[in-house]
Structure 1
Amino acid sequence: MVERIPMSQEGYARLRQELDRLQRKERPAVIEAIEVARGHGDLKENAEYHAAKERQGHIEGRIMELKDKLGRAEVIDCSSVDCSRVVFGTVVSLVDLDTDDEIRYQLLGPLEADVSTGSISVLSPIGRAMIGKSVGDEITVKTPGGVRQLEVMDIKPPDRA
């Protein structure tokens, strides 16, 4: 069975753009660089040729990886999420009951998660613990940093967060 990857429409579009760029710009450019380097003679001692071939390997590997991820993507429309409970795509405001710190996360797929931009994966410990919770619910979650006590303060759709 194929493991599906939850992803927002924006995340899917970003991966699709990267794949298009690699296939239409990067791949032809590296093929041209290989041809130019071949024209310089002996391939055994040709650093330009070896660098271009290595770059080609990286590009082809990334293209295969992106095709796999896009093929397994389960695209979820975050613009029409129900905000009565925490679900994929919602922006959740939490308060840490131990420190009174307020935290805000958008729940996204593992390929889109970036704590520095305020998004976490639905598959992360905190993400899993939040799914299905409502405003006022308390969450106890084991994280790599220890057990955390959180309370859901607000749930909003991504466009009005």
Structure 2
Amino acid sequence: MSKAFTKETDSDEDDDLSLPPLPSGSRNYITPQGYQRLRAELLHLIDNERPKIVEIVHWAASNGDRSENGDYLYGKKRLREIDRRIRFLTKRLDIAEVADPSLHHGNDQVFFGATVTYENQAGVERTITIKGIDEVDNLQGEVSWISPIARALLKSRVGDEVQLMTPGGLERLEILEVRYPAPETAH
């Protein structure tokens, strides 16, 4: 039989491919804001997005021949994507451990949630924020707590020098500043 006529599966096999790997036996740390963002996305998919697509697929299916019905074919594909994302978010939120970085406000030691400014041997300063693997935005200077740079910085203090193994060799970094968000005050 030709590969063109094989049925596409809706298996869970591909779900695990999109899960960023956690170190064996470690926790899935996430900030309270990151947790809320993922939870809001999950609820939006379940309450809004999925019902709309189900309605479109139902309408398109009632129009007869499904083999050349673009609305039906696209709708089914989009439904699989939504269901896959719902499964992913559900799994990740189930194993998430919310860690509030504001508890360390005023501390000069690097823990999860810290915003760290460091300088390399060439005198170049860089600022990063250490976050959970499901919430990082590299374009905003955020790195996962399991990344090599975060692992090198964790538990160090302002004034410490840490070593980071890079593709270009060993690099020394000096910790210049450590900041945490201020705790939210109750009104």
- 2:20 alignment counterpart: none
- Are 1:51 and 2:71 matched, yes or no? no
CA separation of 1:2/1:92 partners in 2, compared to 1, >3 Å: closer, same or farther?
Answer: closer
* Distance in 2 separating the partners of 1:115 and 1:48: 36
CA RMSD of aligned residues (A): 1.8
* Distance in 2 separating the partners of 1:2 and 1:33: 43
1:141 to 164, 168, 177: 164
- Using the TM superposition, give the Cα deviation of residue 148 of structure 1 relative to its aligned residue in structure 2, in angstroms: 2.2
* Distance in 2 separating the partners of 1:67 and 1:136: 41
2:91 to 68, 72, 83: 68
Give the number of equivalent residue pairs.
159
1:110 to 133, 144, 151: 133
- Are 1:39 and 2:62 matched, yes or no? yes
- 1:150 alignment counterpart: 173
* Distance in 1 separating the partners of 2:50 and 2:62: 19
- Are 1:84 and 2:108 matched, yes or no? yes
* Distance in 1 separating the partners of 2:27 and 2:63: 47
Q: Output the TM-score relative to the length of structure 1.
A: 0.92
Give every structure 1 segment of 4 or more consecutive aligned residues whose post-TM-superposition deviation is greater than 4 Å.
none
Structure 1 unmatched runs, 5+: none
1:26 to 13, 30, 49: 49
The structure with the largest strand share of the pair is: 1
* 1:157 aligned partner, one-letter code: Y
Structure 2 unmatched runs, 5+: 1-23
CA separation of 1:19/1:75 partners in 2, compared to 1, >3 Å: closer, same or farther?
Answer: same
- Are 1:119 and 2:142 matched, yes or no? yes
Do 2:132 and 2:145's aligned partners in 1 also have CA atoms closer than 8 Å?
Answer: yes
1:95 to 102, 114, 119: 119
